[in-house]
Amino acid sequence: MKRYVLPLLVVVAFEACTEKNKAPKEATAPVVEMAKKSVKETKEDLTDRGFKIFDYVDEKTKDTVIMQQYFIAFLKSGPNRSSNKKEVDSLQILHLAHLGRMYEEGYADISGPFGDDGEIRGITIYNTPTLEIADSLANMDPMVKSGRLIIEMHPWWAAKGFPLR
């Protein structure tokens, strides 16, 4: 029975966090938003909000793609690797709620753990105009505050509006 309680609590915590902190639709739907705007309007909107962008011309299709700077946070093992199961389980619930909130509020586009047991535990890609904002949001994570994880942040460029496949 215990093994079913934690996943249930994670789902409940995530849902509570996301329901309580619903973001406006325009913050959570960049692909739809971009489809409604012209390329010029999209570029003006991004630069007005402080995002760094540049145009990339695809040699094969000759299409112009807007490249946007994002920030990728590597969540690495921190110095406090306590094995107290109750504490770790509680922190995990808070960690997932934090990541859910970042996604719902439009600050993070994707997060996930790595599938091995290495030093880098997972990543989050932040959709913020500056490294300072992304770093501040990443360091609000309860797992980071506890010292169980540390953040290594890097700027990262990707095509605006392109989905993962």
Indicate the pTM of the whole model.
0.75
Mean pLDDT, to the nearest integer, of 3-22? 40
Ordered domains of the chain (ranges, CATH):
2-159 (3.30.70.1060)
CA distance 119 to 134: 21
Nearest C-alpha neighbor of 42 from the set 63, 58, 71, 65: 65
> What is the model's pLDDT at position 163?
85
- Would you state the pLDDT for residue 88? 92
Buried b (16+ CB within 10 A) or exposed e, 45-62: ebeeeebeeeeeeeeeee
Give the other-Cβ count within 10 Å of 138's Cβ.
Answer: 26
Residue 151 pLDDT greater than 50, yes or no: yes
Q: Tell me if residue 132 falls in helix, strand or coil.
A: helix
Q: How many angstroms separate the CA atoms of 147 and 77, rounded?
A: 9
Q: What is the pLDDT of residue 7?
A: 41
pLDDT (0 to 100) of residue 34: 52
Q: Which residue has the higher pLDDT, 125 or 27?
A: 125
Backbone phi and psi for residue 100, each to the nearest 5 degrees, phi listed first: -60, -40
pLDDT single digits (tens) 66-75:
999 999 999 9
The pLDDT of residue 71 is 98
Token pair 């406090």: residue: 80
Burial 71-108 (b: 16+ CB within 10 A, else e): bbbbbeebeeeeeeeeebebbbbbbbbbbbbbbbbbbb
